[in-house]
């Protein structure tokens, strides 16, 4: 190993960013590589998709985060392979990067589970591009239908969201507000009763990761706000104009949002290391790849073995694992024995829309309604990266709350090849 160990981190998401910051004062050289030049605050993607926030409010340039940190080199690049024996990382369009320690924090991607038509016609919500594309598509459906109201007969204004976890619930609630409070005024000649929002969940209730009472609360609130919640139903296939449910029912729709699952970044398979069925790299309880003590994996990409309960794919896991690795690297440096990672679950929250959210905290504490919502707002503001983002989100939220408006309803991407009537040539 070189005198100053070179720590290479792949991914500037929650895990990679936290680790790079945690190593700020350590005698190491860090290289942080991401295929984007910005960090995305994924928990607020649905607000970009529903015109509540500008894209820039939930993204932060990675280089800007490390101003003043002298031991880091930020690189824009897509990692495409590795020479594990030679300790060289391969980046598209760049020289191989040597490393002493490699930390993989490349996250997850949308998974369609091979259901026919989802990849071609559905919209995911995993990246900033996804959110902007979805927003543009929904707004364009309204524009097209305004010009030709007969398109509503084929369901052009309908949105079907598949997946009743936090993402599906948050998106459904925000879309209901967008439709009833904003697009109804933008399109006074459209019959908005023809714009249905349907939330389809395979399990028997919403928010399966939360207490059943919170899932029931979310359902009641969404239904009161006009969302058609359908549980116990699975999707068979998707076409350009409809979602076909197992059992034969057909939901005509102009937009299908796939919020039913993710799988790990394909990096594990590319690296040729062992992965689980969801593509996550198998690591020991010390987060190292077996037989490769210099390769560590964290966050959504890691399948930690040797622990009692599987870890959820949420930001606090990635963040806590990043801090754990920073400590482990110091132990390696000092020749001390390593430890094992233990996750401290500090609770979960999901917003259902204006003035309502569910929060489940340790010791059985549960909150709903406005109290949960204020907690949710506060936590997300604190966790956003950068003062400018916090300030702009706070201003946008205050504006949206007071005026019921959504300033960011801008169509910026060309028509997507997805469900819904094709735009005129
Ligand atoms: C819509 C949505 C809502 C969510 N809401 C919540 C929530 O409310 N609370 C919560 O705790 N969690 C939430 N999550 C989950 C949370 O965002 C993830 O668990 C967390 O981001 C995982 O962190 P990570 O560091 O593993 O990966 P990520 O944060 O996903 O970062 C991975 C990084 O790796 C980069 N990358 C990937 N492949 C390559 C490559 N080949 N080369 C270079 N760079 C690469 C990506 O560009 C990305 O920047 C949500 C996720 C989504 C999608």
Q: How far is the CA of 181 from the centre of ligand 1 (A)?
A: 31
Antiparallel, parallel or unpaired: β 302-304 and 365-367: unpaired
In the DSSP assignment, the letter for residue 275 is: B
Q: How far apart are CA 195 and CA 138, in angstroms?
A: 11
Stretches where the chain sits below pLDDT 50 are 419-425
Q: How far is ligand 1, taken at its centre, from the CA of residue 145, in Å?
A: 35
pLDDT of residue 424: 39
Which residue CA neighbors atom 19 of ligand 1 most closely? 314
315 lines ligand 1 (CB under 6 A): yes
Residue 425 has a pLDDT of 36
Q: For residue 79, give Cα distances in angstroms to 26, 175, 270.
A: 25, 36, 10
Residue with tokens 């939901």: 251
Cβ–ligand 1 distance for 280 under 6 Å, the answer no
Write down the pLDDT at residue 417: 59
Helix (H) or strand (E) holding 145: helix 128-147
Please tell me the residue having the least CA distance from ligand 1 atom 7: 43
Whether ligand 1 lies within 6 angstroms of the CB of 105 is answered as: yes
Contact status, residue 394 vs residue 381, Cβ threshold 8 Å: yes
* Under 8 Å between Cβ of 103 and 301: no
Cross-strand bridge partners of residue 353: 356
Pocket lining: 268 vs ligand 1, CB cutoff 6 Å: no
Cα(102)–Cα(29) distance, rounded to whole angstroms?
12
- What burial class does residue 335 get, using C-beta atoms within 10 Å of its C-beta: 0-12 exposed, 13-18 middle, 19+ buried? exposed
Contact (Cβ atoms closer than 8 angstroms) between residue 200 and residue 381: no
Each as own residue / partner, the long-range contacts of residues 95-98 (CB below 8 Å, 24 or more positions apart, any chain) are 97/8, 97/31, 97/33, 98/6
For ligand 1, what atom is nearest to the CA of residue 46? 1
Residue 314 confidence (pLDDT): 95
128 Cα–ligand 1 center, Å? 11
Give the nearest ligand 1 atom to 78 CA: 42
- Give the residue among 124, 185, 133, 141 at the shortest CA–CA distance from 406: 185
Q: Tens digit of pLDDT for each residue in 179-207?
A: 999 999 999 999 999 999 999 999 999 99
Please, which residues bridge with residue 259 across strands?
Answer: none
**Other C-beta atoms lying within 10 Å of the C-beta of residue 1:** 11
Q: Find the 90 Cα to ligand 1 centroid distance in Å.
A: 21
> Which residues face 245 on adjacent strands?
235
Atom of ligand 1 at shortest range from CA of 317? 19
Between the CA of 76 and the centroid of ligand 1 the distance, in Å, is 17
Ligand 1 centroid–CA 62 distance in Å is 14
Is residue 49 lining ligand 1, measured as CB closer than 6 Å? Answer: no
Per-residue confidence (pLDDT) for residue 405, from 0 to 100: 86
CA distance 334 to 11: 27
Tell the residue nearest (CA) to atom 50 of ligand 1: 43
Atom of ligand 1 nearest to the CA of 349: 8
Ligand 1 site, residue 16, Cβ cutoff 6 A: yes
> Which residues are the active-site residues?
170
Q: How far apart are CA 259 and CA 99, in angstroms?
A: 36
How do residues 105-144 score in pLDDT, each as one tens digit? 999 999 999 999 999 999 999 999 999 999 999 999 999 9
Pocket test for ligand 1, best of 106, 129, 207, 267 (most atoms within 8 A of CB): 106
């Amino acid at each position: 190993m070189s005198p100053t160990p070179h720590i290479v981190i792949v991914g500037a998401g929650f895990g990679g960013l936290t680790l790079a910051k945690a190593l700020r004062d350590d005698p190491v050289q860090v290289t942080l590589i991401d295929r984007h030049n910005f960090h995305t605050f994924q928990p607020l993607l649905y607000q970009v998709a529903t015109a509540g926030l500008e894209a820039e409010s939930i993204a932060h340039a990675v280089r800007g985060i490390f101003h003043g940190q002298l031991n880091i080199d930020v690189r824009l690049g897509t990692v495409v392979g590795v020479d594990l024996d030679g300790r060289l990382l391969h980046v598209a369009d760049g020289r191989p990067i040597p490393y002493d320690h490699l930390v993989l924090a490349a996250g997850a991607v949308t998974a369609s589970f091979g259901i026919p038509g989802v990849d071609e016609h559905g919209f995911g919500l995993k990246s900033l591009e996804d959110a902007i594309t979805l927003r543009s598509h929904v707004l364009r459906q309204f524009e097209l239908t305004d010009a030709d109201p007969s398109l509503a007969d084929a369901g052009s204004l309908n949105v079907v969201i598949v997946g009743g976890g936090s993402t599906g619930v948050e998106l459904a609630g925000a879309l209901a507000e967008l439709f009833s409070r904003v697009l109804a005024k933008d399109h006074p000649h459209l019959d908005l009763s023809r714009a249905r929002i349907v939330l389809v969940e395979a399990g028997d209730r919403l928010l399966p990761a939360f207490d059943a009472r919170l899932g029931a609360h979310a359902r009641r609130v969404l239904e009161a706000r006009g969302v058609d919640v359908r549980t116990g139903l699975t999707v068979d296939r998707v076409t350009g104009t409809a979602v076909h449910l197992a059992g034969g029912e057909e939901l005509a729709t102009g937009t299908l949002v796939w919020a039913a699952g993710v799988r790990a970044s394909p990096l594990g398979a590319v690296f040729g290391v062992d992965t689980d069925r969801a593509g996550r790299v198998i690591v020991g309880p010390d987060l190292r790849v077996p037989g490769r003590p210099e390769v560590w994996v964290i966050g959504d990409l890691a399948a930690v073995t040797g622990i009692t309960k599987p870890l959820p794919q949420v930001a606090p896991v990635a963040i806590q694992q990043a801090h754990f690795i920073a400590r482990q690297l110091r132990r390696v440096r000092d020749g001390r024995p390593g430890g094992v990672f233990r996750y401290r679950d500090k609770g979960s929250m999901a917003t259902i829309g204006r003035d309502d959210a569910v929060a489940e905290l340790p010791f059985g504490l549960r909150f709903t309604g406005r109290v949960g919502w204020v907690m949710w707002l506060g936590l997300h503001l604190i966790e956003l990266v950068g003062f400018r983002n916090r300030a702009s989100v706070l201003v946008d939220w205050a504006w949206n709350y007071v005026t019921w408006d959504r300033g960011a309803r801008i169509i910026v991407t060309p028509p997507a090849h997805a469900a819904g009537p094709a735009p005129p040539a």
